[in-house]
Structure 1
Amino acid sequence: MTKHIVTTDDDPAIRKVLQIMLKKEGYQVTQCKDGHELSTVLKQDSASVDLVLLDIKMPGLSGFEMLDIMQRNYPRIPIVMLTAFNDLDTGMKAIRSGAADYLAKPVRRESLVSCVERVISKSQMQQEAVAEKSNYLTRHVELETKLKAALLSLKNTTRATLEAFSETIEQKDAYTKGHCSRVRTISVAIGNALKLSHDNIQILEGGSLLHDIGKIGIAEEILNKTSSLTKEEYEIIKMHPVAGERIITHIELFQPYRPIIRSHHERIDGRGYPDGLKGDEIPLDVRIVSLADAFDAMTSSRAYRAALPTEIAVEEIKLCSGTQFDPELVNVFLDKEIFLL
């Protein structure tokens, strides 16, 4: 689809030159002589505009005033400011004020084409990321609604029900088949080694099976991606603990598992997410599941890597003792050879 660029400059010669250069590159070009004409174009059809080239110094509304108006009313549209050759400080000020970039006049064809391609490409990526996040939230709301409706008919939650939820999670990601069950096995073994009460062991079991429930709203193409995640995709992945807690908020019998679901990616040193908890701020059952989750993740094949040998995973657990993991739990994990389960 042809990209639409609006050039705004009070000098007709500059507008003409910009139009010629851009049309040669296949762009649709609309010329405006001042901020008033630009405002009219945007009011009539802002949805079709992909980029605005905006002169800083114009009669009437200045480039900075138009930049402010567009930031408030048309934040989707990227803006490249045009500034005099000896006025680069003003161009930098424009970027700090929200412009995507600036070009010094007289504008060279190579610089113009390169800048326009770069800014439009970046704008498209940002809009796609916003759309992807919106779609994720929509899917999540739909799944949450369906899940709540199904749970209205449940009077009792049994281990079979927990395992069914676990299976639902793992159906989203073939590479983590059995992950929740293995995390439960390791977590319960650590809990038994610590001689925790029966009730605490039950919480470890349920929390382990449900810890990744927030992933049911994440697109499978992200979960099963074979290459590195983009920053935006990683941010979506990091939403799953909070999403999981939201899903079980109104399920009374699941409330003992909330800390595990929300906080299983916290770290002893406070560098985890979503809350940056550290040390004893992280409940014991959460610290146990975090260790079990990490070990099984390392020793399981994923879409983007093969499983690590147990020996290497154990060394990684040792290396992260006291930073990512509770050192006392690491000692139990190693001394009792729970890693051999």
Structure 2
Amino acid sequence: MVVNEEPKASILIVDDEQSLLDICKEALTEAGFTVHVAHDGPSALRMLSHLPGLDLVISDLRMPTMSGLELLKKLKDGHSEADFLIMTGFGSIETAVESIRLGAADYLPKPFNISHLLLKVERILQIRRNREDRKKLTNIVRVLNLSQAMNTKLDMKSLTNEFLSQVQKNFNPDGVVLFLQDNEGLQSKAMRGSLLRNNPQLGTWVKLLGERVFRQQLPELILLSKKGPPQLSTEGPPPDASITSIMAAAMPTRMKSVGSIVLLRNTDKPDFTREHSQLLNVFAAHTASAFENARLYGQLWDMNLEVIRSFAQAVEAKDVYTRGHSERVAIYATHLGNRLGLSKEDLHLLYTGGILHDIGKIGIPDVILNKPSKLTTEEFTVMQRHPELGRAILNQVTSFGNILPIIFYHHERVDGTGYPMGLQQEEIPFLARILSVVDSFEAMTSDRAYRKALPMNVVRDILQEGAGQQWQDDLVKIWLEEAEKPDFKNLRQVNVTGHVEFQDVVDA
């Protein structure tokens, strides 16, 4: 049986003494490590660009050209994320303290025996493994939090805001630009951060970077503050000298890429690291699927909306006086819901419920629907069946399940004398109570077969008189405040175009 063991760590030994290099290399190689050697600091720095997976640097303290402490400083400035072990024959407490202060993992005085070296190395690497495990766990938690947050959003606007908030919380950038693909190509959909305000040249440069990352499907990490081997870079530096590090990642799905994201930091913060870049890449990939789902959901919503409107038109085709009633009730309901601070999901339920609230009237005889005079008791009993008929019709459509309570209960009264169930107060679903107010308002302010539209002062008196009896009193109060605003009439021109743009509509 073949056992796949975890590969041993990669180690770079730096010393100007060849014999010590040979001894250390032989011992560490026999222990299973991958070992590289360099004779001085500059040589070690050149090698680092070719050793991205390096775990540990073991360096002599005193060397020509560049000391071990100077090499340590270079590594901690961003040349490598490897741990560092200082060894020297000129040991002192002060040297040990200084090396640890600068970020060394440990200190090994010369002369030493090989077993001591191996113990030090194993200890440092075990601590490194533990640290990496904690980082992985932390990053897993971050990705899970991102996924959970993204899964609660189904429209582009909320999804974009949530994604940018997650990016800012986890990466603390000074500037963020999100690019998404549409019919006209890759477009800047959201921009945050002081670095990008009032700097169109920087915006142009960032877009070129975003387009290249989108096209090549490869992440980029650009470190402008470091000398030495260049990191992945764009065509020329950005037109802002304060920017020191940049990350960019594509947003791929299984079928295609939906966009890219670019993050910038200036001199006030530490540079982005490879770990940051890897995590951003994971964030972008996870969110790409959410954006694609939102796009597909938006398309499905648009299709459903057409079907929903056709249902309403089928009802209104039977009664010329109610044409447009359902659309106006839907608009009024979402406007009142938005004023109340309801969630996006509830606003959609209100809109759809408004469109479909009278769908049951399709089963009511025309002679009753279009009667120009008051209905008889028997005729009114037939009319009262339309909420039940509406629920029965829509109950066949699984996706309308959450809308059924609005349809079924929109003629209940808070005093318990409504129909079909005679519910009262909080027994009536809240969204149905909202719809009841605006449905009655729209009916009173529109022409009907049996009367002309009532003037606003009469409608106000009727609503105020019925507050606390037919309708919830605080909902009546808030709705009348909205209805008496000068721009209220503009609500009649609002065109709800679909799920993606819904927030813009309800804010109108």
Class of the TM-score when normalised by the shorter of the 2 chains = 0.5 to 0.7
Amino acid at match of 2:372: T
Q: Does the alignment pair 1:262 with 2:408?
A: yes
In the other structure, the counterpart of 1:224 is 370
Give the C-alpha shift of residue 336 in structure 1: 2.9
| Distance (whole Å) between structure 2 residues aligned to residue 221 and residue 324 of structure 1 | 27
Give the C-alpha shift of residue 193 in structure 1: 0.2
In the other structure, the counterpart of 1:188 is 334
In the other structure, the counterpart of 1:168 is 314
Amino acid at match of 2:418: G
Structure 1, gaps ≥5 residues long: 1-154
In the other structure, the counterpart of 1:253 is 399
Amino acid at match of 1:236: V
| Distance (whole Å) between structure 2 residues aligned to residue 336 and residue 210 of structure 1 | 23
| Distance (whole Å) between structure 1 residues aligned to residue 479 and residue 461 of structure 2 | 12
In the other structure, the counterpart of 2:355 is 209
| Distance (whole Å) between structure 2 residues aligned to residue 190 and residue 209 of structure 1 | 15
Q: Does the alignment pair 1:307 with 2:307?
A: no
| Distance (whole Å) between structure 2 residues aligned to residue 179 and residue 338 of structure 1 | 20
| Distance (whole Å) between structure 2 residues aligned to residue 212 and residue 253 of structure 1 | 18
Out of 439, 444, 449, the position equivalent to 1:298 is 444
Deviations 1:176-214 (A, max 9, x none): 111001101111110010111110000000000000000
For the residue of structure 1 that corresponds to 2:372, the secondary structure is coil
Deviations 1:140-161 (A, max 9, x none): xxxxxxxxxxxxxxx8752222
In the other structure, the counterpart of 1:242 is 388
For the residue of structure 1 that corresponds to 2:406, the secondary structure is helix
| Distance (whole Å) between structure 2 residues aligned to residue 329 and residue 338 of structure 1 | 14
**Contact 1:269–1:279 under 8 Å retained in 2:** yes
After TM superposition, which residue ranges in structure 1, 4 or more long, deviate above 3 angstroms?
337-341
For the residue of structure 2 that corresponds to 1:306, the secondary structure is coil
Give the C-alpha shift of residue 338 in structure 1: 6.0
For the residue of structure 1 that corresponds to 2:310, the secondary structure is helix
- Relative to its length, the structure with more helix (as a share) is 1
| Distance (whole Å) between structure 2 residues aligned to residue 338 and residue 208 of structure 1 | 21
| Distance (whole Å) between structure 2 residues aligned to residue 249 and residue 318 of structure 1 | 35
| Distance (whole Å) between structure 2 residues aligned to residue 203 and residue 293 of structure 1 | 15
How large is the Cα RMSD of the aligned pairs?
1.5
| Distance (whole Å) between structure 1 residues aligned to residue 467 and residue 453 of structure 2 | 21
| Distance (whole Å) between structure 1 residues aligned to residue 336 and residue 480 of structure 2 | 10
Amino acid at match of 2:462: E
| Distance (whole Å) between structure 1 residues aligned to residue 428 and residue 484 of structure 2 | 22
| Distance (whole Å) between structure 1 residues aligned to residue 313 and residue 389 of structure 2 | 18
Change (3 A) 1:310 1:169: same
In the other structure, the counterpart of 1:47 is none
| Distance (whole Å) between structure 2 residues aligned to residue 161 and residue 237 of structure 1 | 24
Q: Does the alignment pair 1:336 with 2:500?
A: no
| Distance (whole Å) between structure 1 residues aligned to residue 461 and residue 336 of structure 2 | 18
Count of equivalent residues: 187
Change (3 A) 1:324 1:164: same
Amino acid at match of 1:175: Y
| Distance (whole Å) between structure 2 residues aligned to residue 235 and residue 209 of structure 1 | 23
Out of 407, 421, 429, the position equivalent to 1:275 is 421
Deviations 1:215-268 (A, max 9, x none): 001111111111221221111101111011011112101111101111110001
Q: Does the alignment pair 1:288 with 2:437?
A: no
Amino acid at match of 2:413: R
- Relative to its length, the structure with more strand (as a share) is 2
**Contact 1:238–1:274 under 8 Å retained in 2:** yes
TM-score of the aligned structures, taking structure 1 as reference length: 0.53
Amino acid at match of 2:356: L
In the other structure, the counterpart of 1:71 is none
| Distance (whole Å) between structure 2 residues aligned to residue 298 and residue 311 of structure 1 | 11
**Contact 1:189–1:338 under 8 Å retained in 2:** no
Give the C-alpha shift of residue 334 in structure 1: 2.1
Give the C-alpha shift of residue 337 in structure 1: 3.2
Identity %, equivalent residues: 42
Deviations 1:151-178 (A, max 9, x none): xxxx875222211111111111111111
For the residue of structure 2 that corresponds to 1:255, the secondary structure is helix
Give the C-alpha shift of residue 303 in structure 1: 0.9
Give the C-alpha shift of residue 335 in structure 1: 2.5
| Distance (whole Å) between structure 2 residues aligned to residue 208 and residue 253 of structure 1 | 16
| Distance (whole Å) between structure 2 residues aligned to residue 175 and residue 303 of structure 1 | 6
Structure 2, gaps ≥5 residues long: 1-299, 490-508
Give the C-alpha shift of residue 305 in structure 1: 1.1
For the residue of structure 2 that corresponds to 1:158, the secondary structure is helix
| Distance (whole Å) between structure 2 residues aligned to residue 337 and residue 171 of structure 1 | 28
